[in-house]
Amino acid sequence: MQSVASALARLGDLAASPTVSRLAAAFAAAGHELALVGGPVRDSFLNRPVHDLDFTTDATPDRILHLVKPLADAHWDIGRAFGTIGALVGGETVEITTYRADSYDGTTRKPDVVFGTSLEEDLMRRDFTVNALALRLPAVTLVDPSGGIDDLLGKVLRTPSTPAVSFGDDPLRMLRGARFTSQLGFTLDVETADAMEAMRESIAIISAERIGDEIAKLLRSDNPRAGIEVLMESGLAEIVLPEIPALRLEIDEHHHHKDVYQHTLTVLEQAIGYEKSRGNLGGPGHAPDLIVRLAALLHDIGKPATRKLEPGGVVSFYHHDVVGSKLAKKRLRALRYDNETINAVAKLIELHLRFFGYTEGAWTDSAVRRYVRDAGDQLERLHILTRADVTTRNRRKADRLGFAYDDLEQRIAALAEKEQMDAVRPDLDGEQIMAILGVRPGREVGEAYRFLLEQRLDDGPLGVPEATRRLQSWWAERS
């Protein structure tokens, strides 16, 4: 948090920027109000990077579009029904929204869209005071009707109106509260936290897409643990991610195992650390990887269903990787994530235990090839998840596992360099198989292809002559 004077100076520079000043002049000339609002103003006080520019105005969506068109390189009105017009102005993305005063009716999943009449009214209907700040343009006047500056200084999340009214207007704000604790490092004030717990059931009227989007934003933050803990403490997690509270398994005096919930949060934190340090998912400065973070959060959700108390105080979770993969698919589909994300997360969870067999005995080259083949394009993410899954406090054990995975990665790299393992295929393609066997396209070609792939995985590149010999031998025995 920088000083108020420094923040105001930064806001002044922002207001004087070409994009903002052009928009401010256009709206003022047309007799309309315009204010920079929300995140850009907040982040100027927090000395955080300002990316997209959000504005609010008394102009209707039609008027906004009329005023923006001459200035924009491109524009879109996908949010027009909600009063929002987007545009690309001077290379910067902007969104301009008519003053709003809408709310949910408590039963349906869509809010009643009502346009407001003043900037102050618009700000008082926003989610938290730290986001209810605006900079009037072109006058460059700070507007703070709810004490947002004081809450920024105190690092507190508080609603402009009472929490009951605010969360009643839009229950998604409860999830946004959890997300902002992670993004901003702020804490909820007592009244707001109490209201989240009391009103948690109302989140059910929010669409699955919006809930999934908020969870994704939370996980992409630098400290998702804080937001997840808010979801747990408020009881919201039991509604939006019930698999996470289920990880708080009971531990009796005779059977002992690690706290799966705390282990999961540690794995998530460690995965983020590896994601940043390895830099193989997009290079330095890449966007946070949602797939890695979802896989880390959900990797052990199969444990409650597979927990078994064994003799001697041992607790087992056989096949929790397979069960967890299926549960993750089900949950992510319910949250309307895309198929690419769902399938990648499910694959990582299903494979996350595979490495631990490596420490029990040396893998053959064939086993290493199969590890790479099964991971496919998720191999780097699997490296991250597997390393992050080591949370033991036993330094000797942790070092042993770390050295073993170092060895596995070195073997993968050596084989990849030697055999082009990034595209493991049989030495013969479908056309060659049909020509050698004298068959037409059909089931036999697929079976022959799979046979040759297994040969390739077992023994490495064979070459066309040897692959042909083995194929003919297999075909003769099969016939």
Q: Is 283's pLDDT higher than 80?
A: no
CATH 3.30.460.10 fits 1-153, yes or no: yes
**Of 64-68, 127-131, 290-294, 451-455, minimum mean pLDDT range:** 451-455
100 CB-near residues (< 8 Å, 6+ apart): 56, 82, 83, 113, 114, 115, 116, 122, 125
Within its chain, how far is the Cα of 414 from the centroid?
33
Element at 367 (helix H, strand E)? helix 365-375
* pLDDT value at residue 254: 44
**Cα distance between residue 426 and residue 164, in whole Å:** 63
Element at 136 (helix H, strand E)? strand 134-137
CATH topology assigned to domain 155-241: cca-adding enzyme, domain 2 (1.10.3090)
Q: What's the token pair of residue 117? A: 């009449």
The two beta strands, 187-188 and 156-157, are: parallel
Give the residue ranges of DSSP H helices in 235-361. Answer: 237-240, 260-278, 290-298, 303-306, 320-334, 339-351
**Cα distance between residue 373 and residue 368, in whole Å:** 9
Q: Identify the bridge partners of residue 55 per DSSP, sorted by sequence position.
A: 36, 96
Average pLDDT rounded to a whole number, residues 27-36? 97
* pLDDT value at residue 111: 62
**Cα distance between residue 221 and residue 210, in whole Å:** 17
Give 252-274 pLDDT, tens digit per residue.
544 455 789 999 999 999 999 99
**Phi, psi of 285, rounded to the nearest 5 degrees:** 80, 10
Query: Contact 356/268 with Cβ under 8 angstroms?
Result: no
- Cα angle 234-114-192, degrees, rounded to a multiple of 5: 20
Give 180-233 pLDDT, tens digit per residue.
999 999 999 999 999 999 999 999 999 999 999 999 999 999 999 999 999 999
Give 115-156 pLDDT, tens digit per residue.
888 999 999 999 999 999 999 999 999 999 999 999 999 999
Q: Which amino acid is at 251?
A: I
**Cα distance between residue 366 and residue 454, in whole Å:** 9
Burial 246-276 (b: 16+ CB within 10 A, else e): bbeeeeeeebebeebbebbbbbbebbbebbe
Average pLDDT rounded to a whole number, residues 467-477? 89
Query: Contact 398/390 with Cβ under 8 angstroms?
Result: yes
Q: Is 86 helix (H, G, I), strand (E, B) or coil?
A: strand
Query: Which range among 51-60, 364-373, 462-471 has the greatest average pLDDT?
Result: 51-60
- Cis before residue 18, ω within 30 degrees of 0? no
For the chain, give the longest Cα–Cα distance.
87
Q: Is 5 helix (H, G, I), strand (E, B) or coil?
A: helix
Among the listed residues 346, 356, 347, the one whose alpha carbon sits nearest the alpha carbon of residue 386: 356
* Secondary structure, 3-state, 174-212: HHHHHHHHHHHCCEECHHHHHHHHHCHHHHHHCCHHHHH
Query: Contact 127/105 with Cβ under 8 angstroms?
Result: no
Q: Is 284's pLDDT higher than 70?
A: no
313: left (phi over 0), alpha (psi -120 to 50) or beta: left
* pLDDT value at residue 451: 87
Query: Contact 450/414 with Cβ under 8 angstroms?
Result: no
Among the listed residues 151, 68, 61, the one whose alpha carbon sits nearest the alpha carbon of residue 100: 61
* pLDDT value at residue 102: 61
The two beta strands, 84-89 and 74-76, are: antiparallel
* pLDDT value at residue 255: 47
Q: What's the token pair of residue 79? A: 């949010």
Give 404-433 pLDDT, tens digit per residue.
999 999 998 888 877 665 567 888 898 998
- Other beta carbons less than 10 A from residue 127's beta carbon: 21
Q: Is 279's pLDDT higher than 80?
A: no
**Phi, psi of 439, rounded to the nearest 5 degrees:** -120, 165
**Binning pLDDT at 50, 70 and 90, where does residue 64 land?**
very high
467 CB-near residues (< 8 Å, 6+ apart): 426, 427, 428, 452, 455
- CATH for 249-423 is 1.10.3210
pTM for the whole structure:
0.85
Average pLDDT rounded to a whole number, residues 269-288? 81
Q: Compute and round to an integer the Cα radius of gyration of the chain.
A: 28
Question: Which residue spans within 338-384 are E strands per DSSP?
Answer: none
**Binning pLDDT at 50, 70 and 90, where does residue 314 land?**
confident
252 CB-near residues (< 8 Å, 6+ apart): none
Instruction: For the chain, give every domain's residue range.
Output: 1-153, 155-241, 249-423, 430-478
* pLDDT value at residue 20: 96
* pLDDT value at residue 425: 80
